[in-house]
Amino acid sequence: MNFSSSSKLEHCDVAQSELVLPNAVPVELRLYRLREVLARVPVSRSTWFAGIQKGRFPKGRCLGPRTTVWRSDEIDRLIAKVGETA
């Protein structure tokens, strides 16, 4: 495989430092893979990615060229927000 300096991580516009919470925040943070997100938010895969494009759902964080995760606090906030409007 030939990986150039503009590697396959171009779609990842989030710095890895954003995955670290400040020490002052006493929150248990989990990182969810897509399967786990869709188990908590009952939408289809295509609806999830369309929602990300429209800004309704949070963007994932790239851990590698084929690994994207979502922060549990962002998913919890999304679920709470949807629960308030229902």
Residue 82's pLDDT band (cuts 50, 70, 90): confident
pLDDT at 13: 55
Cβ(60)–Cβ(13) below 8 Å: no
60 SS3 class = coil
Architecture of domain 29-85: Orthogonal Bundle (1.10)
Residue 24's pLDDT band (cuts 50, 70, 90): low
